[in-house]
Structure 1
Amino acid sequence: MPPSRSHIRTTIEAYLARHPDERGALAGLLALLDGPAEPTSRSALPGHITCSAAVIDRDRHVLHIGHGPSNTLVAPGGRVGDDRTLPAAALRGVYEETGLRPGDLCMTPLFLGTPADIAVHGFETAPAEGEPAHQHYDFRFAFYLTEDTAPPLALRDAEAACAKWQALTDVSSPTLRAKLLDAEAQGLDGQPEPVNASALIHDGCGRYLLHLRDQREHIWEPWTLALLGGGREPGDSCLEETLRRELAEETPGLEPTGLTPYTVDTTTGVDGLVVPTRIYEGRWSGHPDSVDLREGVLLQWFTVDTLDRLRLSPNLDEMIRRHAAEHPAPDRPQGSGPRTRHGAPAGTELHIVGVHLYLQDEHGRILLGLRHPDAAFAGNTWHFLAGHCEREAAVSCLVREAQEEAGLLIDPADVELVHVVHVLGPSTGRPRIQLVFRARSWSGSPEVLEPDRCAEWRWWAPGALPHELVPYARTAIEGILAHRAYSELGWS
């Protein structure tokens, strides 16, 4: 199957976001996508899509192939076939003409998977080939060599007479040359650097959080346990931003602390390209069931002693073992008895700790937030401002959540614990300790700062609470108004 129309359209729009002044020049290409013909077929008229590649070495020279009797120098590439993506078509064209394999190449951090140039070429009628006059819309992708020197070239196309490495100033295509020279001023230097970011998340006690990928076509490393993360996008200012964006998209609610660069790993992407990946280490100690997993099949903690029984993405076993050796888990006290794999005494049921803000205004009204309809927990239901306690003090968690979710500034000295609800839900999830704190004073007015979680903040009179209210929040409010410090829910 050739690349899908949706993929082609997304690629064009990403290119036009960089070059909006070219939309008029590419009107024919956009019209081609709306027509009945397959846009990559050579029979598509009045034009069709081709793909080529600007292969750049360490000296910022670009590979050209000499074609025809005049040895016209052009970038390697050609027609699109049964390629998954347009970059895959360009990579196949490079291999077929020069012998360079996808594993000899990697993405450029400036262009990533977006074309460096889309050129429009007109071709006269070719009666011998049965082709009328038509146009080629050539998508030019830029790649770096992965090694300092290029492997020996093997010209495999009968029409290819020679190969030459041309300086950027001598690139044969004027439009491609202009864009590469502009990119050179922004850092296009031929030196590979990470374009992906992943998180090596551990709890400080010997456990590592791994993500089971989907078993689907075109998924990178399908049905393996891997680290969370993904590829850099043009709008990302740095790789840490890439990682935080990916975590927010894949696992809302999972926010590791202390993210710091740990190492650089080299993997192979679905198209065969080498993908340098920056690995960040970070700490988190929550339960995976508390995370809204939106990509993949499973999120779970694993210890080093289980790694040899798991199907892991390449290099991950060695990476985790190295990190564990550098960060040994705390020793257990002598005579502490049998332990679970979590380090707790055998038979212990670990609990999730939640923190909640009980806030009343000068009229005695209680602040509640309406959960977003798509929220994994209690969608379209009113609830306290709340969060899960990570490896941090409960009051610190409350202060952080109040500022992040609603823009409220609270002094920890003005916080007091007013109720505890011990909750056992109907599912097989872990029991929870829900801590409810009152803030005696604060600054700021409630704002919706996390719209994917909360749609609205509103003050409610205690005697007129909303019908759609999280049950344990109602239990806590009733307990506070009755001056009770503790409630249980779900245990009977």
Structure 2
Amino acid sequence: MSLTRSHIRATTEEYLARHPHERESLAGLLSLLDGADDPADRATLPAHVTCSAVVIDRRCRVLHIRHRASDGLVLTPGGHTESGDRSLLTAALRELQEETGIPPGAVCLTRQVLGTPIDIDVHDIDARPAKGEQAHRHYDFRFVFHLADEEPPALALQDEEVSGAQWLPLADVRSSTLRTKLLQAQCDGRPEPVNASALIHDGNGRYLLHLRDANKPWIWESGCWSLLGGGREPQDRTLLDTVVRELREEAELTVAGLAPYAVEHVTGTDGTRVPVQVFTGRWNGDPARLPLTEGVMVAWVRPEKFPYMTMLPSTRALLERHAAEHDAPAGPAAGTVLNVVGVHLYLERDGQVLLGLRHPDSAYAGNTWHVLAGHCEAESATACLVREADEEAGLVIDPADVELVHTVHMVDRPGGSPRVNLFFRARRWEGTPELREPDKCVAWQWWNAKDLPEPLVPYTRAAIEGIRAGRVYTELGWAR
């Protein structure tokens, strides 16, 4: 797998989003990317792409080497791309290891710039008639890394290309543009987590684990059971923002009260060391109902199963540590089964009931009418109702203005988790129903309670009929 033009262009545009004032100075690079020749091939003239690694240690010093090919100039490690490079960043890491002996696992990405180049340097290369090279130009993508450990590793310099190395203070970095950007970014050489994961448990000894896609080497932990989570993105103000966003994107999952638990160290797909901030939180829902957008499945797992599952040793150790600290029971008490609690809003106006049409691609009841509803998390049922009404439809409801009018206790399939569905009537509310979550609901509509639409979620129909008949309880799906 070699570098693609689309990858180089995407990396360039990501860089220009941070430095829009440089678009004019990088017009030649953009023109190169519009051309027919391979921008990463050193044979492409009069210009091509190169990559460099900017490594900072704990003393805020930057590694420089003396390049033989550049007449002894003192530069950061780097060079031309090769056919096996999967990305510009991995090309920089390869050059770093070849020229200095520092492997990818000895460095980590920085919070300040993540995997985006800190600089794209433009410099001219003189002709070398002895090597048959004409004068040309390099567009050098410079990636910054922090050393993962306290002390710099021993260097093993590539003798045919490197004649020496030195760690220079940040203020003495030879490239003025690089020096300015490092100072502006406040890269201080101290590694910190740039990924976040969620260790989710139900308080009864079960852990929510995510089975990732197999046979996809570009995916982190391919084919392994892991924690839900992912990498920090520029819009995330904190790592808590990161894990909340990842849970929402991967499984539309919201976990209240997430708190920092530990830092796990893993190896990223690019080979770098990745410190991961692990948050912990409690949830007791049904994983089968989560609309998973990544991976194969999520499932509840007990600690006794961990040794027989494919997962990173560090992840297994982390889970076992948490289980030991919380004295996880071997299983629920005999005959005890956790029930999922759902809350539902019954709004009636002049004999009409408010219903929403579920999105055709919804994981539950696609293209079917249903009342406004949600799963109860670490909150009271009325608090959940108020929250869901605001999040889904922009309705403002005072908890004092709701009353429980019907309960449906059900199992919707053989072996499925039992569910307690609470229907609350709101006597008063503020606002007009809005499509706040169009990926879940595509329309709100008032329907005559005597002439309900089809298709309608069966237990919703049963609840509405029960409410109108004055009944407070319905059972569905139980074997008699």
> TM class by shorter-chain length?
over 0.9
Alignment of 1:208-227 (within 5 A): 208-215=207-214, 216-227=216-227
Q: SS where residue 315 of structure 1 aligns? A: helix
Separation in structure 2 between the aligned mates of residue 44 and residue 71 of structure 1, nearest angstrom:
25
Separation in structure 2 between the aligned mates of residue 457 and residue 118 of structure 1, nearest angstrom:
50
CA deviation after TM superposition for structure 1 residue 155, in Å: 1.0
Tell me what 1:279 maps to.
Answer: 278
8 Å contact 2:217–2:269 — kept in the other structure? no
Tell me what 2:76 maps to.
Answer: 75
More displaced 10-residue stretch of structure 1: 133-142 or 407-416: 407-416
More displaced 10-residue stretch of structure 1: 432-441 or 137-146: 432-441
Separation in structure 2 between the aligned mates of residue 70 and residue 247 of structure 1, nearest angstrom:
52
Which AA in structure 1 matches 2:332? G
TM-score (norm 2): 0.92
Query: Please, what is the CA RMSD of the aligned residues?
Result: 2.3
CA deviation after TM superposition for structure 1 residue 258, in Å: 1.4
Residues 262 and 385 (structure 1), Cα distance of their counterparts in 2 relative to 1, 3 Å cut: same
Could you tell me which of 336, 347, 352 is aligned with 2:340?
A: 352
More displaced 10-residue stretch of structure 1: 19-28 or 121-130: 121-130
Could you tell me which of 320, 332, 346 is aligned with 1:343?
A: 332
Separation in structure 2 between the aligned mates of residue 110 and residue 125 of structure 1, nearest angstrom:
37
Residues 433 and 202 (structure 1), Cα distance of their counterparts in 2 relative to 1, 3 Å cut: same
Tell me what 2:98 maps to.
Answer: 96
Tell me what 1:241 maps to.
Answer: 241
Which AA in structure 2 matches 1:234? P
Tell me what 2:41 maps to.
Answer: 41
Separation in structure 1 between the aligned mates of residue 54 and residue 297 of structure 2, nearest angstrom:
39
* 2:447 equivalent to 1:474: no
Separation in structure 2 between the aligned mates of residue 60 and residue 434 of structure 1, nearest angstrom:
58
TM-score (norm 1): 0.90
Alignment of 1:183-194 (within 5 A): 183-184=185-186, 188-194=187-193
Separation in structure 2 between the aligned mates of residue 86 and residue 41 of structure 1, nearest angstrom:
13
Separation in structure 2 between the aligned mates of residue 267 and residue 288 of structure 1, nearest angstrom:
26
Query: CA offsets per residue over residues 14-43 of structure 1, 9 Å max, x none?
Result: 211111111222233233333332221112
Query: CA offsets per residue over residues 55-87 of structure 1, 9 Å max, x none?
Result: 111122111111238521111011111112211
Residues 344 and 393 (structure 1), Cα distance of their counterparts in 2 relative to 1, 3 Å cut: farther
Tell me what 1:333 maps to.
Answer: none
Which AA in structure 1 matches 2:434? E
Which AA in structure 2 matches 1:179? K
Tell me what 2:175 maps to.
Answer: 173
* 2:427 equivalent to 1:440: yes
Is there any run of 5+ residues in structure 1 with no aligned partner, and where? 331-340
Could you tell me which of 352, 369, 375 is aligned with 1:365?
A: 352
8 Å contact 1:71–1:162 — kept in the other structure? no
More displaced 10-residue stretch of structure 1: 159-168 or 21-30: 21-30
Residues 51 and 409 (structure 1), Cα distance of their counterparts in 2 relative to 1, 3 Å cut: same
Q: SS where residue 257 of structure 1 aligns? A: coil
More displaced 10-residue stretch of structure 1: 464-473 or 203-212: 464-473
Tell me what 1:123 maps to.
Answer: 125
Q: SS where residue 63 of structure 2 aligns? A: strand
CA deviation after TM superposition for structure 1 residue 380, in Å: 3.5
CA deviation after TM superposition for structure 1 residue 199, in Å: 0.6
* 2:53 equivalent to 1:53: yes
More displaced 10-residue stretch of structure 1: 306-315 or 102-111: 306-315
Residues 49 and 157 (structure 1), Cα distance of their counterparts in 2 relative to 1, 3 Å cut: farther
8 Å contact 1:404–1:449 — kept in the other structure? yes
Residues 139 and 203 (structure 1), Cα distance of their counterparts in 2 relative to 1, 3 Å cut: same
* 2:405 equivalent to 1:418: yes
Separation in structure 2 between the aligned mates of residue 391 and residue 61 of structure 1, nearest angstrom:
47
Which AA in structure 2 matches 1:396? A
Residues 423 and 28 (structure 1), Cα distance of their counterparts in 2 relative to 1, 3 Å cut: farther
Q: SS where residue 51 of structure 2 aligns? A: strand
Could you tell me which of 181, 184, 187 is aligned with 1:182?
A: 184
Q: SS where residue 318 of structure 1 aligns? A: helix
Separation in structure 2 between the aligned mates of residue 374 and residue 31 of structure 1, nearest angstrom:
41
Residues 431 and 7 (structure 1), Cα distance of their counterparts in 2 relative to 1, 3 Å cut: farther
8 Å contact 1:421–1:489 — kept in the other structure? yes
8 Å contact 1:229–1:247 — kept in the other structure? yes
Residues 9 and 470 (structure 1), Cα distance of their counterparts in 2 relative to 1, 3 Å cut: farther
More displaced 10-residue stretch of structure 1: 119-128 or 235-244: 119-128
Tell me what 2:303 maps to.
Answer: 304
Alignment of 1:330-409 (within 5 A): 342-346=331-335, 350-361=338-349, 363-409=350-396
CA deviation after TM superposition for structure 1 residue 48, in Å: 1.8
Separation in structure 2 between the aligned mates of residue 280 and residue 312 of structure 1, nearest angstrom:
18
Residues 157 and 343 (structure 1), Cα distance of their counterparts in 2 relative to 1, 3 Å cut: same
8 Å contact 1:2–1:80 — kept in the other structure? no
8 Å contact 2:51–2:80 — kept in the other structure? yes
Separation in structure 2 between the aligned mates of residue 104 and residue 398 of structure 1, nearest angstrom:
49
CA deviation after TM superposition for structure 1 residue 468, in Å: 4.3
Is there any run of 5+ residues in structure 2 with no aligned partner, and where? none
8 Å contact 1:2–1:40 — kept in the other structure? no
Could you tell me which of 139, 142, 157 is aligned with 1:140?
A: 142
Which AA in structure 2 matches 1:168? L
Separation in structure 2 between the aligned mates of residue 355 and residue 157 of structure 1, nearest angstrom:
69
Which AA in structure 2 matches 1:461? N
Residues 471 and 7 (structure 1), Cα distance of their counterparts in 2 relative to 1, 3 Å cut: farther
8 Å contact 1:289–1:429 — kept in the other structure? no
Tell me what 2:156 maps to.
Answer: 154
Tell me what 1:64 maps to.
Answer: 64
